[in-house]
């Protein structure tokens, strides 16, 4: 007899993400009738070592169409998983990976592969009448609401490159629940908008992740604005609320010269110069987390940065690309002390989860992250709770593709009450230089 969890039907189609760019959507139906569906996200400041999305090229949608990936999802990939038990996630994911036959998943498309990986997980949870966070959790573990990192101001690839640093975020430090943390971040965003307006800056421009996109003269000016916003909202700077930045340094690294171009400030600086600059920012502003401080393959520089910026969470995004081999290298070398986890960087949920577990086993913090091109889905929130990642980053407090994630977490917390824990600030990696070493 066929199990009610056996994958019976796969149906994929082309949808649009929050930037209006085509993306893969899929629905999986199990033999017992349960369904799971998904629309996958897509990044703009992507790392070289990410799994590869398949895009059509040609003239449709400016070459960004995903009709080919959809054909693969409905064809080769569907055939690889029809009949498998959807609750056996690693088996489903392994079959998807084998069907593509390449580590980067370029042949059939990482976008097609991720769609089926997530839809299968959703369908399996539905078959058991469970929310996804419960289905994703290890038996016996309590649901953990993550500490949110919330975008306030954007620059770089997410806001027309008006400033070099890609994201300026806040981390509520003293909030005692997830809901309270979101309220704090909302207050800071509103107050920062008023600070910018008072300074004569336009706050009408909203960046890709829902943050403010003012045209500012320097990166420091953005740090200044967020700091004043925190104070204006009535919080103690650095005590109640800390600042996180995603430098996304690969984006302004010049591989020919081996240095970094701060275009907004018309300066070229070396890796050592950039680390020194970051140290100065850390001395002037209450920065608790820095992401992608150097280029994606500058392991040596990253080790130096991890030592030089002690006391701060140093988060690897493009550096690790949610790849266990790269995270393993980081652990060995002592490069970074936290891992940004984006399921679409690696292509399947099993692989992303393995990276979370590997990071935790080595004492590294994890931040589950959305992409700048997002969708109305909220499965990422369930994974943060079920996997116990500790932290999450999905953008600002507005735009539906962002609030869908916050809203899902608000719903889970409201529903579970004392049945769940809130991670709080204790989940931030406090770098002691050597702490990340195995
Ligand atoms: P991306 O940006 O989704 O455009 O890659 C997010 C990030 O860099 O963290
Ligand atoms: Zn990043």
Taking only the tens place, the pLDDT of each residue in 95-133 is 999 999 999 999 999 999 999 999 999 999 999 999 999
438 has pLDDT over 60: no
CA 205 to each of CA 154, 187, 224, 397, 411: distance values in angstroms, whole numbers, following the listed order: 10, 19, 19, 15, 29
Section 170-196 average pLDDT: 98
Environment of ion ligand 2 (residues, CB < 5 A): 246, 291, 317
Fill in the DSSP letter of residue 348.
S
Predicted pLDDT at 3: 94
pLDDT at res. 434? 37
Confidence label for 1 from pLDDT (cuts 50, 70 and 90): low
| Residue in the structure block whose two tokens are 């008006």 | 162
Q: In this predicted structure, what is the pLDDT of residue 41? A: 98
Helices in 271-399 by DSSP H: which ranges?
A: 271-284, 299-308, 324-333, 343-346, 349-361, 379-387
pLDDT given for residue 431 in this prediction: 56
Which is the closest atom of ligand 1 to the Cα of 318? 8
* Average model confidence (pLDDT) across the chain: 96
Which residue has the CA at smallest separation from atom 1 of ligand 1? 43
- Cα diameter, the chain: 70
Residue 246 Cα to chain centre, angstroms: 11
CA 292 to ligand 1 centroid distance, Å: 10
- Distance between Cα 248 and ligand 2 center (Å): 5
pLDDT for position 397: 98
- The Å distance, Cα 147 to ligand 2 centre, comes to 17
Task: Determine contact, residues 12/340, Cβ cutoff 8 Å.
Answer: no
Please name the fold of domain 7-129. Answer: Enolase-like; domain 1 (3.30.390)
pLDDT at 435: 37
Q: Start-end ranges of CATH 3.20.20.120 in the chain? A: 144-437
Identify the pLDDT of residue 160. 75
Delimiting residues of CATH 3.30.390.10 domain(s) in the chain: 7-129
pLDDT tens across 376-410, in order? Answer: 999 999 999 999 999 999 999 999 999 999 999 99
Judged against a pLDDT cut of 90, whether residue 159 lies above it is answered with no
- pLDDT tens sequence across 268-285: 999 999 999 999 999 999
CATH class of 144-437: alpha beta
**Pocket residues for ligand 1 (CB within 6 Å)?**
43-46, 166, 246, 248, 317, 369, 371-372
Q: CA–CA separation, 260 vs 103, rounded Å?
A: 30
């Amino acid at each position: 007899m066929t199990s009610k969890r056996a994958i019976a039907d796969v149906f994929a189609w082309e949808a649009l993400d929050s930037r209006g760019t085509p993306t893969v959507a899929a629905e999986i139906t199990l033999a017992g009738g349960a369904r799971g569906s998904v629309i996958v996200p897509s990044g703009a400041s992507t790392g070289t070592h990410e799994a590869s999305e398949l895009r059509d090229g040609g003239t449709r949608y400016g070459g960004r169409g995903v009709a080919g990936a959809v054909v693969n999802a409905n064809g080769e990939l569907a055939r690889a998983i029809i009949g498998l038990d959807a609750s056996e996630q690693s088996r489903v994911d392994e079959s998807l990976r084998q069907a593509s036959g390449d580590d980067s998943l370029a042949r059939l498309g990482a976008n097609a592969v991720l769609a089926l990986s997530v839809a299968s997980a959703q369908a399996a949870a539905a078959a058991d009448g469970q929310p996804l966070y419960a289905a994703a959790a290890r038996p016996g573990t309590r649901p953990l609401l993550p500490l949110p990192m919330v975008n306030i101001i954007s620059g770089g690839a997410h806001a027309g490159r008006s400033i070099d640093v890609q994201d300026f975020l806040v981390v509520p430090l003293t909030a005692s629940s997830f809901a309270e943390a979101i309220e704090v971040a909302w207050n800071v965003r509103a107050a920062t908008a008023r600070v910018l307006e008072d300074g004569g800056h336009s706050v009408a421009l909203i960046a890709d992740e829902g943050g403010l996109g003012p045209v500012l003269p320097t990166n420091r000016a953005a740090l200044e604005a967020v700091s004043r916003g925190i104070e204006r909202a009535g919080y103690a700077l650095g005590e109640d609320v800390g600042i996180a930045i995603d430098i996304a340094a690969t984006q302004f690294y010049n591989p020919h010269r081996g240095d970094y171009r701060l275009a907004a400030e018309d300066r070229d600086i070396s890796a050592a110069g950039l680390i020194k600059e970051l140290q100065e920012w850390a001395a002037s502003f209450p920065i608790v987390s820095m992401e992608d401080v150097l280029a994606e393959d500058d392991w040596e520089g990253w080790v130096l940065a991890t030592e030089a910026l002690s006391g701060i969470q140093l988060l690897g995004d493009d550096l690790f690309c949610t790849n266990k081999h790269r995270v393993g290298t980081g652990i060995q070398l002592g490069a970074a002390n936290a891992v940004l986890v984006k399921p679409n960087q690696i292509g399947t949920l099993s692989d992303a989860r393995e990276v979370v577990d590997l990071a935790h086993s080595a004492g590294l913090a994890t931040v589950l992250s959305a992409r700048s091109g997002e969708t109305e889905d909220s499965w990422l929130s369930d994974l943060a709770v079920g996997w116990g990642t500790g932290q999450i980053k999905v953008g600002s407090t507005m735009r539906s593709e962002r609030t869908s994630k916050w809203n899902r977490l608000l719903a889970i917390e409201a529903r579970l009450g004392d049945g769940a824990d809130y991670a709080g600030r204790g989940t931030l990696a406090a770098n002691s230089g050597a702490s990340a070493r195995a």
